[in-house]
A = this chain, B = another copy of it.
């Protein structure tokens, strides 16, 4: 690992932030309290591929407290908070770990990885020492990635699906797929292929062994769920999946309220720009777009929305946003934000037509919403790094665009991601999903599931006290009148909130 694990100050700072975050994450704390004594994940090997932030650290230590044997990587090259990683590796004070003798959870992540490092870290997180000895702390980096004694996770926590992808592509290679030798669309794809080939060379049955003992993945994002559903539809999904993203307490909270808090935060830390009076163009009006638009307007920007879906477009219009195509407004915008989950939303042609010093960023999961590669490679465009994660690209005509976080998630690349409280809701879903996947591992098929409405409501309930909310209780007569029980669930599965 590239952050200095032996930097005691980094770990100590991280620990203090974890202490603060725990008080903002009542859902995870309740899970620890309720399930900690029973250890429902006792000895279960869990690999995580999810932004290595302070909040994730609280999730990791919650899984550890439930008994799991956890290894972790980030799912984004910029999103790691090194002090959080250090704190997790050293471990909570009761374990008595030190930087020299870490006793926490191995973490393979640091802020500013190269893509090669990124995929190598993902692999490391998926690689548990094959004998009964516990895996060493991440700092040592010794968990071999190719030895035949290496074993894999029994459960995966995924965010965007990279860990799941690696397992599937590795398995397919062992089954004879020639994907690794096909032409690549991007340099990242090439890196993945090379890594898989290297693993295959050293151990040609590794992924078969891994998948044989892999009982499920819980996936965090819209994007990752989309991949999973496609695989399930094709019949190629190798293990059950719980779609955490579509818990109401995830997608309608983290995506919406999380982005409302973290988008402007990221833009401000990167550029200190005045939001008021600016024209902000938000591409996509899903949950992420809704939160993004609201926060920009809240700060005084005039927001224009682009949409492909007539229903979402009509919603945007009802909220008073102008709805146009990007082509129509590209010359007006001061700030552009992509949040579509789709590719090539802001093309090089769009950027050519923008105002001087227009700010361009993405808060969707993947970095292909903006054509960053073309920006980097087209002749006649010069590059100036203002500071890390803030880059100016100057076009031949002299105008420039300011690209944030290299087109990756701006809230994680330029700030610290969603705040703890809303991540507590998301991660309580993750923790409950992991428990559920393990407990019911024999009954789940290789399909994509969601958590029950009952659990979803429970996640919400765990977060109310912290906010001083008093919940009204139905009388039996009222419950009967609307055909529910007094304890819920209170809504149909199709209810939209």
A: residues with CB less than 8 A from B are: 13, 16-17, 20, 23-24, 54, 226, 230, 246, 248-249, 251-253, 257, 260-261, 265, 268-269, 271-279, 287, 295, 297-303, 306-315, 317-326, 328, 332, 341-344, 356-357, 384, 386-387, 392, 402, 415-416, 419-422, 425, 450, 456-458, 460-461, 463-464, 466-475, 477-478, 481-483, 488, 490-491, 493-494, 496-497
Contacts and interface: CB of A to CB of B under 8 A. Distances in A.
Given A323-B470, A467-B317, A477-B344, A54 B496 contact: no
Given A20-B271, A272-B420, A310-B464, 14 more contacts: A257-B318, A260-B300, A261-B275, A276-B319, A276-B320, A276-B422, A297-B320, A308-B471, A308-B490, A309-B490, A310-B488, A314-B469, A317-B469, A325-B472
Given A322-B302, A386-B16, A471-B313, A342 B481 contact: yes
A421 B475 CA distance: 38
A384 B16 contact: yes
A323 B471 CA distance: 7
A244 to B, nearest CB: 14
Contacts of A466: 277
A321 B299 contact: no
Given A272-B54, A481-B342, A482-B342, A253 B314 contact: yes
A311 B425 CA distance: 11
Number of copies: 4
A494 B357 contact: no
5 contacts: A277-B466, A310-B460, A323-B467, A323-B470, A344-B478
Most B-side CB within 10 Å, residue of A303, A326, A475, A482: A482
A85 to B, nearest CB: 16
Most B-side CB within 10 Å, residue of A325, A419, A422, A468: A468
A387 B488 contact: no
A290 to B, nearest CB: 9
B464 A248 contact: no
Contacts of A402: 20
Contact of A460 (B314, B328, B471, B497): B314
A325 B460 contact: no
A318 B471 CA distance: 15
Nearest to A302: B320
Contacts of A488: 309-310
Contacts of A315: 252, 497
Given A322-B302, A325-B470, A482-B341, A268 B265 contact: yes
Contact of A313 (B246, B299, B343, B460): B460
A422 B299 CA distance: 13
A497 B248 CA distance: 11
B226 A469 contact: no
Contacts of A248: 311, 496
Contact of A332 (B272, B311, B468): B468
Contacts of A24: 273-274
Contacts of A493: 494
Contacts of A421: 273-274, 276-277
Given A253-B314, A274-B421, A472 B320 contact: no
Nearest to A271: B20
A248 B261 CA distance: 27
